[in-house]
Structure 1
Amino acid sequence: MRILSKWSKEILLALTALIFLSPIYIIFVNSFKTRQELYENALALPGEFSFQYYTEAMEKMDFVNAFTNSMVVTIVSVVLIVILSSMTAWMLARSGNRISTIIFMTLIATMLIPFQTLMMPLMQLVTGVTRDLGIPLYNSLSGLIFMNIGFNAALSVFLYHGFVKSIPISLEEAATIDGASKFGVFWRIIFPILTPITATVMILNVILIWNDFLLPSLTLVDKELRTIPLSVFYFFGEFTIEWNLAMAGLTLTIIPVVIFYILAQKYIIKGIGEGAVK
């Protein structure tokens, strides 16, 4: 009876995994098909595995430029989020006064506000600042990076805050007695200990920012500023959809995130478990 129960759980888990992986299979398989093959049977294997549609998709997407834009936006945003969020969380956790608590709870409360309720007022503010003050927030990668930091900081501060509280304050006191400044205490003592949660914060933010479509679509107008999700979107026309090229473009979009996740996955469970729970 126990063996039957064990096998039933294994089979259920395998079926669940297949269901979750089925969209990836559909995207990958259909990226090699002609439009006729795709419309005949979306689940069948292609008659020939050729990278013709990948080459065509890369040309139409201006892949090198879009990939560069996405890399710049993602890397700069994530680095600044890590630096600013870790320092903010450390100060809020160590201050321990009422003002720190109010600031922290305010940051947590912002996580409950849907972006869709803010996007129209945000665009009016951004275009107004760009027009009246000359600060390039609209239609610029720097403006997109600035907004990414603002929208993703709350979750990062929350994760860092829990982890910082688990670090003994005696380490900081000892470093201060030895003559270390506040800046030195953080970068030499605290930040190296934050490595597991830093990896978690990086993974979550890379996935969010790399795959983000809505915010770049609102803020970026010029073709040369498009990120990869925006470039893939233009395969979906008003009257025709180039499904095979779109699938090839989506596959190219997924690959960098998958590689990054595989390299850093061992930290994500450890970081969330030690940071968010404590």
Structure 2
Amino acid sequence: MSFFKRYLKEFMLAFGSLLFLSPIYIMFVNSFKDRSQLYENVLALPETLTFEHYIRAMDRMNFGLAFFNSMVITVISVFFIVILSSMTAWMLVRKDNVWSRIIFMTLIATMLIPFQTIMMPLLQLMDQIMQTTGIPMLNTRGGLIFMHIGFNASLAVFLYHGFIKSIPISLEESAEIDGANKLTVFWKIIFPILKPITVTVIILNVIQIWNDYLLPSLVLTDKDLRTIPLATFYFFGEFTIQWNQAMAGLVLTIIPVVIFYVFAQKHIIRGIGEGAVK
């Protein structure tokens, strides 16, 4: 009976893996097909291997510029999310008073608000800031980065907050006795200890910001500022859809995330393990 259960579990695992990978398979094989092959059988392998649709998709997407926009927005947003959120969480943990608890609970409460309910007031607020200060907040990479930092900081603070609570305060007190100031204590002692949770924060935010479509679609109107998800959307016309080029564009969209995951896989596993121990 145990033999049967073991193979049943393996079969269910293999079936579940195939089920989850099937959309990627369909997207990949259909990116090489012409229109007639695509409508005959979406599951069949392509009769010929050609990169014609990829070339057309890259040209239509202006892939180089879209990739540059996505990379700049993602890297800068994640950088500031990590720096600001880790420092905020550290201060909220160490300044354990009524105000710090109120601030922390306010940040947590913002995670429960659906973005769809605030997207229009957000645009109105950004427009008012732009008119009042002259700082361009809409249709700019900087404005989109600013909003990404604001929307993703609460989750990062929550993750850092729980991790920092497990770090003994005696480490900081010893450093301060030796003459270290607050910044030195944080950057030389605390921040290196935060590496496991920092990796987790980076991974979550890279995937979320890179794949985000809704916020960039509201903020960016200039064609030269489109991110990769925005550029991919324009394959889906109102009356016709070029499925082979759209599939090729979607494959190009996920390749950078897959490469990032492959290189970060070791750190992901280590981060989960060390975070669990903490």
Task: Measure the CA separation in 2 of the matches of 1:273 and 1:243.
Answer: 41
Q: 5 Å matches for 1:64-83?
A: 64-83=64-83
Structure 2's unaligned 5+ residue stretches are none
**1:128 Cα deviation after fit:** 2.5
Query: Residue deviations 1:79-130, cap 9 Å, x none?
Result: 0000000000111111111111111111111111110111111111112322
Q: Partner of 1:157 in structure 2?
A: 157
Q: 5 Å matches for 1:17-96?
A: 17-96=17-96
Q: Partner of 2:244 in structure 1?
A: 244
Q: Partner of 1:267 in structure 2?
A: 267
Percentage of matched positions with identical amino acids: 69
Structure 1 segments, 4+ long, off by >4 Å, are 272-278
Task: Measure the CA separation in 2 of the matches of 1:28 and 1:141.
Answer: 31
Task: Measure the CA separation in 2 of the matches of 1:74 and 1:230.
Answer: 14
Query: Residue deviations 1:32-65, cap 9 Å, x none?
Result: 1112211111111111111111111000000000
Counterpart secondary structure, 1:113:
coil
The residue type paired with residue 186 of structure 1 is F
Task: Measure the CA separation in 1 of the matches of 2:49 and 2:170.
Answer: 61
**1:271 Cα deviation after fit:** 3.6
Task: Measure the CA separation in 2 of the matches of 1:110 and 1:272.
Answer: 25
Q: 5 Å matches for 1:58-207?
A: 58-207=58-207
Q: Partner of 2:210 in structure 1?
A: 210
**1:131 Cα deviation after fit:** 3.2
**1:185 Cα deviation after fit:** 0.3
Task: Measure the CA separation in 2 of the matches of 1:166 and 1:259.
Answer: 33
1:93–1:273 CA distance, 2 compared to 1 (3 A): farther
Query: Normalization by structure 1: what TM-score?
Result: 0.96
Query: Normalization by structure 2: what TM-score?
Result: 0.96
Counterpart secondary structure, 1:58:
helix
**1:274 Cα deviation after fit:** 5.4
The residue type paired with residue 248 of structure 1 is A
Task: Measure the CA separation in 2 of the matches of 1:130 and 1:21.
Answer: 45
Structure 1's unaligned 5+ residue stretches are none
Q: How many residues align?
A: 278
Counterpart secondary structure, 1:48:
coil
**1:224 Cα deviation after fit:** 0.4
Counterpart secondary structure, 2:179:
coil
Query: Residue deviations 1:136-188, cap 9 Å, x none?
Result: 11000000000000000011111111111111111111111111110000000
Task: Measure the CA separation in 2 of the matches of 1:261 and 1:84.
Answer: 24
Q: What RMSD over aligned residues (CA atoms) do the two structures have, in Å?
A: 1.4
CA contact (8 A) 1:159 1:275 kept: no
Counterpart secondary structure, 1:148:
helix
Counterpart secondary structure, 1:91:
helix
CA contact (8 A) 1:197 1:267 kept: no
The residue type paired with residue 255 of structure 2 is I
Q: Partner of 1:255 in structure 2?
A: 255
